[in-house]
Amino acid sequence: MKLLYCWRCRAVVPMMDEQEFAQLEVLYHSAVRGVKSHRARRNARLKETPVARLHRPVQLLYRKLSKAAGLEAPIVAPDHVLKHRLAAYGPPCTKCGLPLRTPDAKICVACGTKRAA
């Protein structure tokens, strides 16, 4: 894990490397299957499904991984945790230092600096 600015959170948060992300992704997909299964078994609407409870292990793993790296993780929505992946961001801007929003970004959204070729 590494601290990096998250454009969605508008804060510096722990970002997962690919190995950490793989662990979390397995848990996330398991939670989604749990939600779908619950809804199918009970013919329930999404409002009537304990989504937060079923996704809680995702949040707990993110916090555990962060803590193991000596970092403090904010509490964020389980689907948003998937956005805290280092590979999803580009290199730091040469002017302001914030990460580019994607690996392929050509311009820094924060300051408008063009990415060096």
Confidence (pLDDT) at 47: 77
DSSP 77-93: -HHHHTT-BGGGS-PBP
Residue extents of the structural domains in the chain? 2-84, 88-117
Global pTM reads: 0.83
CA distance 51 to 70: 29
Phi, psi of 68 (to 5 degrees): -65, -30
User: Would you write out the chain's pLDDT as a tens digit for each of its 117 residues?
Assistant: 999 999 988 999 999 999 999 999 999 999 999 888 888 888 888 777 777 888 889 999 999 999 999 998 888 888 889 999 999 999 999 999 999 999 999 999 999 999 987
- Residue 68 DSSP class: H
Output the pLDDT for position 73.
84
Contact indicator for 86, 16 with CB cutoff of 8 Å: yes
pLDDT at 52: 80
What local confidence, expressed as pLDDT, does residue 64 receive?
Answer: 93
Q: What pLDDT does 22 receive? A: 97
Question: Could you give the angle at which helices 18-42 and 51-68 cross, rounded to 10 degrees?
Answer: 170
Q: How far apart are CA 75 and CA 35, in angstroms?
A: 20
